[in-house]
Amino acid sequence: MIRLENVTKRFGDLTAVNDLSLEVGKGEVCVLIGPSGCGKTTTLRMINRLIEPTSGRILVNGQDTSRMKPEGLRRSIGYAIQSVGLFPHMTVAANIAVVPELVHWETHRIHHRVEELLQIVGLDPDEHGPKYPAELSGGQAQRVGVARALAADPPILLMDEPFGAVDPLNRMKLQGQFLRIHKELKKTVILVTHDLDEAIRLADRIAIMESGKLVQYDTPENILARPVSKFVHDFVGTDRALKRLSRIGVKSFIKPAAAIKTGAPIEEANRIIGRGRSAWLVDDGGSLTGWVDGAILRHGQSVDQAAVKAPSADIAVTESATLKEALSRMLGLGFRSLPVVDDDGCLTGELSLADIEAATSDHERL
Amino acid sequence: MNLRRWLAPDNVAVVGSIVGLGSFLLPWLNVKPNRVAAGTGLSLPDAAGGSGAAPILVLWLVCMALSFTVKGLWLRRALGLASNLVLVITLVLAGSAARSLSESAGPFSRISPDTGFWLALVACYLLIFASRRAGDASVLWRSLMSWSGLAVAAILLAAGWLNSLSIMQELAIQGDRFRAELWTHIILFAGSVAAGAAIGIPLGIMAERTRKAERPIFLITSITETVPSLALFGLLIPPLAALSFAFPALREVGIRGIGATPAIIALVIYSLLPIVRNTFVGLRGIDRGVIDAAAGIGMSPGQLFRRVKAPLAAPLVMDGVRTASVQAVGNAAVAALIGAGGLGAFIFQGFGQQAPDLILLGALPIIALAVLVDAVMNALVKLVTPRGVTRSAP
């Protein structure tokens, strides 16, 4: 989809990008990352020709971009930046409509598209469409920026720290929303960031740059497991193992869990729990409500007396959580295993600390 | 005991009230047996009688009291109203006192406002300024406080109430010439600002676009701005005179060393700096992210300029034109010295004849014109400010 061939950019004596070659496949999210001044933004801006390369070629869909009209090229590539750059004298709806207007869509199609996009990015078209950018919060403005970039349905999206200007909590939300939108629209995305956690969370492949050179281009898992140089090793930091856990979902680690229904007869409970330390407590609908202590049960007490009630939100993780979240919850609660629930709060299984440990060492050996 | 809670003096208002009360003690109207003779000053009670002076004295005292306790919206509004009322009563009294005095002093007598009168006006506007300073959410009250006195003054003028004052007598004598010079003045400043905008806005755009052009453009406009207007008028005389001697055809179309041509050229040059600078700043001040995004989503340079840069820079550009206009209204007065005409002609004639009335006949309309132009241009600035953009303080 996008190919950079031996691209070099010099500003006077400074070589911002040095002989960089990179290929991004269709529908992939490629994250450019590196310390400031490493040339990641310059690389991004050369793709839509806001900056012209000094030498080398950039191909989009096999076509040399230097032979295309810059405006035409840019209209087929979405562009979202950290400072958002919404046009302050236009409403939110008018901002999103700019590119469709530039490529001469019909009015009602534009109108329809604007509403659709506002919904995609989670804003109410009737409420937010007529507002001016000055009336939006930072997070809302970022979302409108992304909506504007997506407006004419470009196959490619360039994003320069699109979530950089919002607080950490909102950034997490926007990242989650980005992943959801990406799953739906399958755009080819090149995203610049300096936030490694963001890169690991969003990227199919990460390109690590150091003073204008591409030093490693690989999946997040591989970059974390096998940094090719001391620079990459230091850049990804000493908590690589922990970071890697944020790439792994809990789903494949769920094991069947022992569950006792509230008010179950003591014999049945004893049979379920066996010699185990504890079992999860569920109500008649299967929803997690706490756990049952095996030792107390074996002393001949009833299920109710041995039960420890706890809200599911406090002790369980959902099936879509990552191992990192699960581990942090285990450490927080002091549990050696953790219940997993589905979206309705029903117990679907459990995770054990030993399995998470095994997962980290598995990848270490890769 | 509770006095302290109410005590909140506003310094400007206190000064205004003191000036107002002080004006009461100074000569208020000046009576001269004829246009060139020395005059005698009459105080307000002497000129307008006790029944006229008493309400003014009371109102000054009210203003003084209010100046010390401007807490609260209604107290400020009361202060604003009181000062406008003083203004109106002062004008009404001046008109009637002048009429009765001129009847007794004979047909050649000249009655003109004296120090006390002018100080009273200054005091009124200090108080109006003070009462408005804290702001008022109500547009009605805001305009009532700023304009009600002026509006009544305009009505009094139009109705001929002030006709016995010497400046109005001067106007009656100069009537046709006054209208002609006023018109010349308007043509001079409006024409040169229009030309200044036509040259200055493209220059500002050019300066913003290329670094090479930026320095020379600002060097030249800044230097010319520092040349005193009289000197600039003078400097233009020799080259234009030489030009018109060399090409007599030019003289036919009005290009000569003196007259309107050098005046307009100088006024155009003066209007350039504010317009060029504001155009430059208006364009340069646009958020870089906005420009980057506009280019990045595929606007051509022309579209970028028309759809983004121009509308966002428009308020500041218009503000530059406003500055240039107000400045040109004043500078055009000096143009009379090189024979360009305009209201300045009365001022310099008045200087020559030692006739203060004639000076005022030139000066007061220039001030009024400047205030009017400022208000109109401010409205234009608001008009070109796009919705969604709050105008930053100029």
Model confidence at A273: pLDDT above 70: yes
pLDDT of B392:
44
Q: Which of B16, B26, B21, B12 is nearest to B117 (CA)?
A: B26
The pLDDT tens digits for B351-378 are: 888 778 888 888 989 998 998 999 999 9
Angle among Cα B182, B185, B191 to the nearest 5 degrees reads: 135
CB contact under 8 A, B293 and A48: no
Q: Touching check for A90 and chain B: CB below 8 Å?
A: yes
Specify the pLDDT at position B70.
66
Distance from A198 to chain B by nearest Cα, in Å? 22
Cβ separation of B311 and A78 shorter than 8 Å? Answer: no
Average pLDDT of chain A to the nearest whole number: 88
3-state DSSP assignment of residue B389: coil
| Residue A51 pLDDT class (50, 70, 90 cuts) | very high
Bridge-partner residues for B113, per DSSP?
A: B29
ipTM summary value: 0.74
Binary contact (B289, A83; C-beta < 8 A):
yes
**How distant is the alpha carbon of residue B333 from its chain centre?**
12
- Supply the pLDDT for residue B393: 38
Chosen for mutation from A52, A98, A136 (greatest number of chain B CBs closer than 10 Å) is: A98
Task: Find which of B290, B291, B292, B297 to mutate to test the A interface (most A CBs within 10 Å of its CB).
Answer: B297
Residues of B in contact with A88 (CB under 8 A): 287, 290, 312, 386, 388-389
Instruction: Give residue A265's pLDDT.
Output: 84
Write down the domain spans for chain B.
3-165, 175-384
| Residue ranges in chain B assigned as alpha helix (H) | 3-6, 11-23, 44-48, 50-67, 73-105, 115-133, 139-159, 166-209, 211-226, 229-246, 248-252, 260-284, 288-296, 301-303, 310-334, 344-353, 356-384
B386 contacts A145? CB cut-off 8 A: no
The answer, as to whether pTM is greater than 0.90, is: no
- Average pLDDT, integer, range B298-319: 94
What's the CA gap between B323 and B297, in Å, rounded? 36
Q: Is there a contact between A134 and B388 if contact means CB atoms under 8 Å apart?
A: yes
What pLDDT was estimated at residue A218?
A: 93
- Write the CA distances from B205 to A348, B171, B277, B284, B391, integer angstroms: 67, 45, 10, 10, 20
Whether B45 has a pLDDT exceeding 60, the answer reads yes
Q: What is the pLDDT of residue B394?
A: 36
A85:B295 CB<8 A: no
pLDDT: is B12 or A300 the higher one?
A: B12
Give the pLDDT of residue A190. Answer: 96
Contact A48, A4 (CB under 8 A): no
Average pLDDT value for residue range A275-285: 84
Interface check for A85 against chain B (CB to CB < 8 A): the answer is yes
In chain B, the percentage of residues whose pLDDT exceeds 70 is 95
Per-residue pLDDT band at A363 (split at 50, 70, 90): low
Question: What are the contacts of A295-304 at 24+ separation with CB within 8 A?
Answer: A297/A266, A297/A269, A297/A270, A297/A273, A298/A270, A300/A266, A302/A266, A303/A260, A303/A262, A303/A263, A303/A264, A303/A265, A303/A266, A303/A269, A304/A262, A304/A263
Give chain B's end-to-end CA distance (angstroms, integer).
44
**Alpha carbons B182 and A365: distance in angstroms, whole number:** 93
pLDDT at A267 over 90: no
Q: How far apart are CA B215 and CA B197, in angstroms?
A: 20
The DSSP symbol for B42 reads: E
Contact assessment for residue A118 and residue A91, using Cβ atoms and an 8 Å cutoff = no
DSSP 8-state class, residue A162? T
CA distance B382 to A159: 36
Residues of B near A (CB-CB distance < 8 A)? Answer: 287-300, 303, 307-308, 311-312, 386-390
Element (H, E) at A41: helix A40-47
Residue B13 token pair: 């208002």
pLDDT number for residue B56: 86
Between B391 and B247, residue with greater pLDDT:
B247
Cα nearest neighbour of A148 on chain B: B297
Neighbours of A354 (CB within 10 A): 10
- Of A274-278, A326-330, B205-209, the range with the lowest mean pLDDT is A274-278
B3-165 folds as Butyryl-CoA Dehydrogenase, subunit A; domain 3 (1.20.140)
User: Given strand B29-32, what is the order of strands in its sheet?
Assistant: B40-42, B29-32, B110-113
**pLDDT tops 60 at residue A304:** yes
Residues comprising chain B, all counted: 394
Q: How confident is the model over B256-299, as pLDDT tens digits?
A: 667 778 888 888 988 998 999 999 999 999 999 999 999 999 99
pLDDT score for B234: 76
B293 and A73: CB-CB below 8 Å? no
Which band of pLDDT confidence, cut at 50, 70 and 90, is reported for residue A362? low
Does A74 contact B at CB distance below 8 Å?
yes
A233: helix, coil or strand? helix
- Residue range B133-188, pLDDT digits in tens: 777 777 788 888 888 888 888 888 888 888 888 888 888 888 888 999 999 999 99
- Of all residues in chain A, the one with the smallest CA distance to B301 is A71
Strands A63-64 and A188-193: unpaired
| b/e map B197-210, b = 16+ CB within 10 Å | bebbbebbbbbbee
CB B309: neighbour CB atoms within 10 A? 20
pLDDT of residue A41 exceeding 90, the answer is: yes
CATH of the structural domain B175-384, one choice from 3.30.70.141, 3.40.30.10, 1.10.3720.10, 2.40.50.90: 1.10.3720.10
Q: What is the pLDDT of residues A100-143, one digit of tens each?
A: 999 999 999 999 999 999 998 889 999 999 999 999 988 899 99
Strand partners, A339: A350
Q: Answer whether B178's CB lies under 8 Å from B171's CB.
A: yes
pLDDT higher than threshold 70 for residue B191: yes
- State mean pLDDT over B99-123: 84
Measured in angstroms, the CA of A220 and the nearest CA of chain B are apart by: 28
